[in-house]
Amino acid sequence: MPELPEVEVTRRSFAERIAGAKVRQAVMGKPLRWALGADPAVLQGQAVHGVDRRGKYLLVRLDSGVLLVHLGMSGSLQFAPDLPPAGPHDHFELHTDRGVLRLHDPRRFGAVVLVPDLADARARKLLDGLGVEPLEAGFDPAQFHRALQARRAAIKQVLLAGDIVVGVGNIYASEALFMAAIRPTVRADRISRPRAARLHGAIVEVLNKAVALGGSTLRDFSSAEGQTGHFQLDALVYGRAGEPCRRCGTDIRQIRQGQRSTFFCPACQKP
């Protein structure tokens, strides 16, 4: 599933190029996870003012409204002056005078939703439960620690929930916990202030590194320019079960938490 770094990489790969474009038409394919919520014809003639991000949602700002775009489990965006004819897994196209923005989504868990503004009930339903953005100044170590003190679940599960800090997906949670030397099974409310501060710093470092490396491509993720990510090649624990820890040489272990694979070093990461 594309996580925050992949979505941010996608945003950066087309945001400047589409800003100022005029929409010629919008084309819908097979139904997605949520309906557009309007006749696609209302998009014709509107200008694209910019592309922002909230969590894993891209916010395409128009003259009259905002398109909320979610890549779902396996979706990706392309933006180019010319694209080949749409295939069976291409479910939304925004044709502009600067190119075509196309959502490719084999599993159709993605979404494109048009709302008048972010105060709209549909936008609030999707966005209001999201935690603090980890790559912005509002991600404060002291507040992060206080929020953890209210949770009795395992710290990795708390990170994946996304309502304290958004966008720390499965790969990045395993990596940040390793960098902070915290066992993924530790209860969140038992993490001390100093350890929470280390985890805070690790989250920021891991996500920034992931964005710089173009995200992670485990299956078919690519940016809107068709570029794959390389973070997974530098992972310290994720996907390395049975291999020696790059710090201490102990074999990396793999466990299951909430139907997701977790990787950690039993020597470096303390309970």
Structure tokens at 140: 């404060």
> How far apart, in Å, are the Cα atoms of 49 and each of 19, 53, 64, 141, 198?
5, 14, 10, 33, 38
Per residue in 81-93, pLDDT (tens digit) is 999 999 999 999 9
Residue 229: the pLDDT is: 47
For residue 223, is pLDDT > 70?
no
What value does the mean pLDDT take over residues 80-109? 95
Residue 74: the pLDDT is: 85
Return the closest-CA partner of residue 218 out of 111, 74, 104: 74
Return the closest-CA partner of residue 45 out of 59, 68, 65: 65
Residue ranges and CATH numbers for the domains of the chain are 4-118 (3.20.190.10), 141-264 (1.10.8.50)
What value does the mean pLDDT take over residues 252-257? 97
Q: List, by residue number, the catalytic residues.
A: 2-3, 56, 260
CB burial readout 11-23, b (16+ within 10 A) else e: bbbbbebbeebeb
